[in-house]
Amino acid sequence: MTANPLLTDWSTPFELPPFMDLSPDHFEPAFDQAMTDARAEIDTIAGQDAPPTFENTVAALEKSGKSLTRVASTFYNLTGAHTNPDLQAIERALAPKLAKHSSDTLLNAALHDRIARLWDTRASLDLDEEQARVLERYHTMFQRAGAGLDETGKARMADISQRLATLGTQFSQNILKDEADYQLVLETDEDKAGLPGFLLDAAAGAAHERGQDGKHVITLSRSLIEPFLQFSENRALREEAFTTWASRGENGGDTDNRAIISETLSLRAEKARLLGFDTFAHFKLDDSMAKTPEAVRDLLTSVWAPGVEKARAEETDLADYARRRGDNITIEPWDWRHYAEKVRIEKHDLNEAELKPYLQLDKIIDAAFDTAHRLFGISFKELSGLPVYHPDVRVFEVMGADGEHVGLFLGDYFARPSKRSGAWMSAFRTQQRVDADQKPIIVNVMNFAKAPDGQPALLTFEDARTLFHEFGHGLHGLLSDVTYPMIAGTRVARDFVELPSQLYEHWLSQPEVLSRFAVHYQTGEPMPKALLDKVLAAENFNQGFATVEYTASALVDLELHLQTDLSDFDPGVFERQALEKIGMPGAIIMRHRVPHFSHVFTGDGYSAGYYSYMWSEVMDADAFGAFEESGDVFDPATADRLRQHIYSAGGRPDPAETYKAFRGRAPTIDALLEKRGLTAA
């Protein structure tokens, strides 16, 4: 019998997964064996006669389950970035099994007793900072999983975890299917009216991928749908495309997510009650920087009012432009981006079509790498011939200033039907030194439109910002410098994890970065200073819209998880009522409507936590001020502090304290309001 490649030693370069040898039927037996091995290791740790010590209990747990971690990281990176029906069926079957495995560990009475005894005697254990933090995280993890409940409570917690895992998987797969199934085929000149060449090229590429050579197809990938809404002069098609985009997950049939949402919220509320919390929001936020729903609501409402005021003024400008052009319409959500583009041209003489030729994907990647080199001394070398899961994936070796290997960075930049929408950072392997010096393998996944063969992929400025954002997450994983996996890389408080990514976005807008890397794809000429000045002058354009669509999503997420009576819950009715209550402008919708709110319902990472982006934005806007105050956005001393306290520290320090160590004080909201242009003129 041929050995399962997932369970053998990997002799691939840098121990990358042996993608060329993998098939879907390898995964289930690999998971079964890896879970069996991990269970044996955990039972040995829990059942040992020796009194608990940090080494024989906590450190031993950190060393356990290596095979399961390796198999799972490979599998779930594939199901997000390059899935297929076989992998999706395995994913559905695995969800409750893995949840049970986790519950069996976290509800193990003997193991919990060992952790509790260590926690109770922690003052006498002579632990260093990392060890103390890791012990605290284990104690908190066991408590929040229900380890302190009676047997009936533990059994119910296990059932809830398994069911939530199944629901989250189905939610995600439903959205992917809705997105993959839709295509708007542009047949006539009227269908294509107003569309610039770069968008038609991208639509031709999307058509080719779907077997419709010679045609033009708009999909629900943001890199296609948003520019279509910007430029299309065909209002009826804008409405059709927008309505389909906005209604993902609520179209009836097998992919409708509304029943999943109701059951998920009910189970989460029950879980919170079992653990002694009033609501799931109270439970979730108790282990965050924010701590309470009240603190989150205070932050969000502090930007909501000025955001709505600015958005209404923007809407007036759009309506005025439409009227002057002779368009007798009320501004609807499918009109906003279209008229905003025209008003931006009028107000700032800045046209996205004029800007895009200067934003080549390869050059923006170079800009992100060069920024990291100037800040942190690391360099990137592209490698070829390494095993990857799709031909589009690029691999870079990351090296330190001393020439030593830091890790691998994988870039997967283009949209395809096998990839879920959005953009994210993940890891095939995290940094740690618990029993070997393990270097990270980090991946950034995007959904940019692919250019026709022989042409460079061109980005919008928002695309370029997304690339810098995800690369900031990537650096958080690559520069991690801790001993224990529990606190490595991005394993930090949810409302702190967006700080490294959002902070990194600031460098994209620096003139010395754009002047070097924003060069015309045909002439090689740098972006003219006049155009660069217009880009920077227009940075706050449409920020009322951006603030409202995001903040509405965060407020609705919070209110969803404050519910206690979920009998006969209707997600659509709740969404409408919640938006009416806060005075949502009718011409804007939530950035993520509830039926396709993947951040919140594909797992509970951002549930009651979508506010995290703004919580982190308070810090990132304030943090970049440290560089501005130094007079050099690449100031070496400030960059050293940034690396030490933010990018390399992982979850070792308390997030509030490590921010203060970098900045010298706590952040203030003033910088965020100024950044978004929400302060009084």
The residues that are catalytic are 470
Distance CA 238, CA 245 (A): 10
DSSP 109-134: HHHHHHHHHHHHTGGGS---HHHHHH
Rounded Cα–Cα distance for residues 283 and 307 (Å) = 29
Q: Is 634 exposed, middle or buried (0-12, 13-18, 19+ CB in 10 A)?
A: middle
Residues 6+ apart with CB under 8 A from 173: 88, 91, 92
Tell me how far CA of residue 551 lies from CA of 63, 235, 305, 615, 623, in angstroms: 41, 27, 10, 11, 21
d(CA 139, CA 117): 10
Helices (H), 349-446: 352-355, 361-376
Residue 424 φ/ψ, nearest 5 degrees: -160, 165
Half-sphere exposure for 629 (CA within 13 Å, toward CB): 12
Provide the token pair at 458: 């061109």
d(CA 523, CA 516): 14
Task: Take residue 444 and report the two structure tokens written for it.
Answer: 């950034």
Integer Rg of the chain from CA: 25
Structure token pair of residue 182? 């839709």
- Cα–Cα separations (whole angstroms), residue 274 to 96, 173, 210, 280, 603: 20, 29, 49, 10, 19
Helix axes 571-582 and 258-274, enclosed angle (nearest 10) = 80
Token digits for 247?
């209604």
Measured CA to CA in angstroms, residue 343 lies from 196, 258, 317 at distances of: 17, 37, 7
Q: Over 480-533, what HEC string results?
A: CCCCCHHHCCCCCCCCCCCHHHHHHHHHHCCHHHHHHHCECCCCCCECCHHHHH
377's torsion region: left (phi>0), alpha (psi -120 to 50) or beta?
left
**Distance (Å, whole) CA 232 – CA 254:** 32
**Which pairs from 431-437 meet CB under 8 Å and 24+ separation?**
431/407, 431/477, 431/478, 431/480, 431/481, 431/482, 431/488, 431/489, 432/62, 432/482, 432/483, 432/484, 432/485, 432/488, 433/482, 433/483, 434/59, 434/62, 434/63, 434/483, 434/484, 434/485, 435/63
Amino acid of residue 371:
T
How far is CA 355 from each of CA 189, 308, 359, 395, 417, rounded to the nearest angstrom? 24, 28, 7, 28, 28
Name the residue type at position 447: N
Question: How is residue 597 annotated by DSSP?
Answer: -
CB atoms within 10 A of CB 402: 7
- The C-alpha atoms of residue 291 and residue 303 are separated, in whole angstroms, by 19
